[in-house]
Structure 1
Amino acid sequence: MKWNIGASSSSSSSSPSSSSSGPVLIDPSLPTNHPAIPTSSINPPAECPMHRSTPPAPPPASGGGLAKCPIDHKNLDPSMNPLNNIPANLSLNRQPGQQLDLPTERTRSTIPRPSGENPGGEAYGTGSTWDYPSPQQFYNALVRKGWETPEDSVEVMVDIHNFINEQAWYEVMKWEKRLPGGENAQLARFTGRPGELSPKARMHLWLGKFFPNTFNTEPPFDRHDWIVTRPLPQSTTVPKEEASTRYVIDYYSAPPDEDGNPVFSLDVRPALDSLESVSERIKVSWEEWRNNNANGDGNGQ
Structure 2
Amino acid sequence: MGNKVSAEAHVNIKIGEKDANPPPECPMHNKTEQKPKVSECPVQHGNDINPFNMMPPANQQPAPDQPFTLPTNRQVSSIPRAMPDGSTEFWVYPSQQMFWNAMLRKGWRWKDEDIKPKDMDDIIRIHNANNEQAWQEVLKWEALHAKECGHPRLKSFGGKATQYSPRARIRSWLGYELPFDRHDWIVDRCGKDVRYIIDYYDGGEVDNKYQFAMLDVRPAIDSVENVWDRMKVMYMRYRYELIGNKQTKLSN
Query: Does TM, scored on the shorter chain, surpass 0.5?
Result: yes
In 2, the alpha carbon distance for the partners of 1:206 and 1:81 equals 41
| Pick aligned residue for 2:8 from 46, 53, 77 | 46
Aligned residues: 212
| Structure 1, unaligned runs of 5 or more | 1-36, 55-76, 118-125, 209-215, 232-241
Give the superposition deviation at 1:167. Answer: 0.7
Alignment RMSD (CA, Å): 2.6
| Structure 2, unaligned runs of 5 or more | 11-22, 25-43
In 2, the alpha carbon distance for the partners of 1:269 and 1:79 equals 30
In 2, the alpha carbon distance for the partners of 1:220 and 1:112 equals 26
| Pick aligned residue for 1:285 from 231, 234, 238 | 234
Matches within 5 A, 1:1-301: 37-40=1-4, 43-48=5-10, 49-50=23-24, 51-53=44-46, 78-79=49-50, 86-87=55-56, 89-116=57-84, 128-149=89-110, 150-152=115-117, 153-179=119-145, 180-208=147-175, 216=176, 218-231=177-190, 242-256=191-205, 263-296=212-245, 300=249
Give the superposition deviation at 1:46. Answer: 2.8
Residues 139-164 of structure 1: per-residue CA shift (max 9 Å, x gap): 11111101235252112111000011
In 2, the alpha carbon distance for the partners of 1:80 and 1:155 equals 31
Give the superposition deviation at 1:78. Answer: 5.0
Considering Cα pairs closer than 8 Å and 6+ residues apart, tell me whether 1 or 2 has the greater RCO.
1
User: Could you state the TM-score of these two structures normalised by the residue count of structure 1?
Assistant: 0.64
Give the superposition deviation at 1:81. Answer: 6.0
3-state SS of the aligned residue for 1:154? helix
In 1, the alpha carbon distance for the partners of 2:186 and 2:9 equals 19
Give the 3 Å change call, closer, same or farther, for CA 276–195 of structure 1 in structure 2: same
Give the superposition deviation at 1:101. Answer: 1.3
- How high is the sequence identity, in percent, across the aligned residues? 37
Residues 84-124 of structure 1: per-residue CA shift (max 9 Å, x gap): x530x21000010012111111110000001347xxxxxxx
User: Could you state the TM-score of these two structures normalised by the residue count of structure 2?
Assistant: 0.76
